Chain A
Amino acid sequence: MEKIEASYLSAYGQRKGLAGWLTSTDHKRIALLYMSAMSVFFLVATFLGVLMRLNLIAPGSHVVSPRAYNSLFTVHGVIMIFLFIIPGIPAVLGNFVLPLQLGARDVSFPRLNLFSWYFYMGGALCALLSLFTGGGAPDTGWTFYVPYSVKTGTNVSLAVFGAFLLGMSSMLTGLNFLTTIHRMRAPGMTWFRMPLFVWALYATGWVQLLATPVLGITLLLVIFERAFGIGVFDPARGGDPILFQHLFWIYSHPAVYIMILPAMGVISEIIPVFARRTIFGYKAIAFSSLAIAIVGYIVWGHHMFTSGMSDMARVVFSLLTFVVAVPSGVKIFNWTASLYKGSITVSSPLLFVLAFIFLFSIGGLTGLINGALSTNIQIHGTYFIVAHFHYVMFGGTGFAFFAGLHYWFPKMFGRMVDEKRAKAACILMFVGFNVLYFPMFILGWQGMPRRYYDYPAHFQPLHSLATVGSWILVAGLLLMLHNLIRTIRHGLPASANPWQGTTLEWHASSPPSIENFDVIPTVTTGPYAYPQNNGVSS
C-alpha cells in the first residue's frame, strides 16, 4: 500500500526517469506531458506574434520579407489555435483535474489517453516539419481556404495532415472524458452534484466528438485535392470553394466553443472558492454550457457573410448568432451574482478571473457587432476581427487557463505560487493585453485589413501603440512563467486544501498520490457547499 500512497511525481513503476513519464498512463502525468510540450509551442508562437508586431511598428519597416510575413501569421495562428488554445484547458487542466473532481482513480481509457498525447505530438511534429520542408512554411492563413491552399507551392499538405492528427487527439480526448463522466463518478455524485468544470468538459466533449470529424474530412479533401485533383472544391471542374468554407467552419466555429467552454468551467470553479459562497444559479450555468454547445453548432455561417453565400443564409445565420450570446450572458450574470455579497479574497486565481470577465465581456459584445450583417460588411477581414478574437481567445480562454494554472498549481506540484509575483504578472499582462489589442478595434473600424504586411502612414500611431503593448504583454507572460517554474522547486509547501475548496480534488493530497484517493470518497452534497465545509465524508 505504501507504494500507492506515494506522490505521482515520484519515480514508480518499471520504467524510471523520462521513460517512466513517456509511457505512463496516469492522467496526472499525461496532463504534465501536455503542459510541457504546450509551453514550448506557446512560446514559439508568441515569439512569432511579437515578430509580426515588430514588423508593423511603422509603415515601411521591413523586419521580415512579405513572404515570411505571410508564413508568420499562418504559423502563429496554426500553433496558437491547434496546439495551444483548443487542447489547452481540456488536455492539461481537464486531464489533471477531471478524475480528481469525479472522485475517480483515472479516466475511463488511460491508454487511449496516452495515445492521444502521441497523436498530439505527431501532429505538432508534422506542423513544425512543414515549416522547413517541401515548398516552405504554409502561407495560407490558419484557415487553409481553397483555392489558394490547393494552388500554393508551400508545404500545405503536411501542415494540414498535422492539423488532422491534432484533431484526432482532441476527438479522442473528448471521447475519453465523455465516457469517464458517464462511468466514473464517485458514489453519490449525481449529475447535479458534479462540479461545473465537469459540466463544461462534458459539453466540450460532445463538441469535440461531433465537430472534429468534419474538419478531419475537410482537411483530407484538401490533401486529396492537392495530390489527385479530385475537383470537389475546384470551380474549373464544377466544385464549389464556398463549400470548403462551410465544412471548415462547421468545425471551426464549434471549435471556438471547444476553446471557451472549459474556460468558463474554470471560472465557475474559482469564483465560489474565493467568494466563499455557493455559485449562483448552478443549474443555469450547467445548462447554459449545453446550450452553448448546441447553439454553437448552428452559427458557423457568420464567418462567411462576405464570401458569396445566399442572402437567405446570411439572414438566418445572423439571427442565430444573436441567440448564442444569450447563454454566455447567463454565465456572466451568474458569476457576478456569485461574487455579490461574497466574502472575497483577491488571490492570484481570482485576479485572473476578474481579468477574464472584463476581457471576455468586451470580446463577447464585439462579437455581436460582427454578427450583425450590416456592420459585418464594414469590419469583415479587418483588425476589428483580429481584436475581437484575441479578446475572446486570449483574453477569455488564455486568461482562464492561467487562472486555472494558478488555482491548481498547488495541487499539481504541492507548492504554493508566489502571490506577489503572480499578481504583478497578471496586472502587467492585463495592461499589455489592452494596449496591444484595443487599438486594433479602432484600426479595424477605420479600415485596416488583417494579414497585411504594410499600411498607410495615418495608421501608424495605433500600430506603434499596439507594438508597445505586445512588449508589456510579453514581459508579463515571462514573469508569470518564471514564477510558475520557480514554484516547482522553490515554492512553499502547499497543504491538501490551500484555498479551502469544496470539490473533491482538494480531498486528495498535494500532490496527489498515484491512485488519487486511498478510499474513493462518497458524495452527499452539491459541489460548492459553503459555509459548512463538510460536503464529503471519506
Chain B
Amino acid sequence: MEHDTHPAVRNKTFISVWAILVALTMASVGASSVHAGTASLLVPLLIATVKASLVLWFFMHLKYERALFKVMLLFPLGTLAVIMGLTFVDTWFR
C-alpha cells in the first residue's frame, strides 16, 4: 500500500500552531473592540484567513502533500471568489 513519504508531523509543531491560533483569536476579539469602521470588519476577517491558512497548511497536512492537492484547492476558492464578485457586480450597482 502506498503511503505518505513524509514522517508523522511532530506534536510540537501542532501545539505551536494551536498556540498561534488561540493568540490570533484573542487578537481578532481585541481588534473588533476598537471601533474603526470598515477596518474593524476587515481585520478580523483577515485574521480569520490567516487562521484558516494555518489549519489548512499544518492540521490538514497541505504543507506535506504533493502539488496536486494545493492546486486543486484553488478551484473551489477561485469559484467562490468569482461567484461572489459577479453577484456584487449586480448588487453593488443596483
Q: Interface residues, chain A, CB within 8 Å of chain B?
A: 182, 206, 210, 214, 240, 242-243, 246, 250, 297-298, 300-301, 308-313, 316-317
Contacts and interface: CB of A to CB of B under 8 A. Distances in A.
Contact of A214 (B83, B91, B93, B94): B83
Given A309-B94, A310-B93, A310-B94, A210 B87 contact: no
Given A312-B92, A313-B86, 8 more contacts: A214-B83, A300-B86, A309-B90, A309-B94, A311-B93, A312-B90, A313-B89, A313-B93
Given A206-B75, A210-B76, A297 B82 contact: yes
A312 B93 contact: yes
B79 interface: yes
A313 to B, nearest CB: 4
Interface of B: 68, 75-76, 79, 82-83, 86-87, 89-94
A258 B79 CA distance: 16
A182 B89 CA distance: 36
20 contacts: A206-B75, A210-B76, A210-B79, A240-B91, A242-B90, A243-B87, A243-B91, A250-B83, A250-B87, A297-B79, A297-B82, A298-B86, A301-B86, A310-B93, A312-B89, A312-B90, A312-B93, A313-B89, A316-B86, A317-B86
Contacts of A317: 86
A250 B81 CA distance: 13
A182 B71 CA distance: 14
Contacts of A316: 86, 89
Given A210-B75, A210-B76, A246-B87, A298 B82 contact: yes
A310 B68 CA distance: 39
A230 B74 CA distance: 32
A209 to B, nearest CB: 8
Contacts of B90: 242, 246, 301, 309-310, 312-313
B86 to A, nearest CB: 6
Contact of B92 (A206, A300, A310): A310
A468 B86 CA distance: 43
Which of A182, A240, A246 is most buried by chain B, counting CB atoms within 10 A of its CB?
A246
A243 B91 CA distance: 9
Contacts of B92: 310, 312
Nearest to B80: A210
A329 to B, nearest CB: 23
Contacts of B86: 298, 300-301, 313, 316-317
Given A210-B75, A210-B76, A297 B89 contact: no
B91 A310 contact: yes
Most buried by A among B68, B87, B92: B87
Nearest to B87: A246
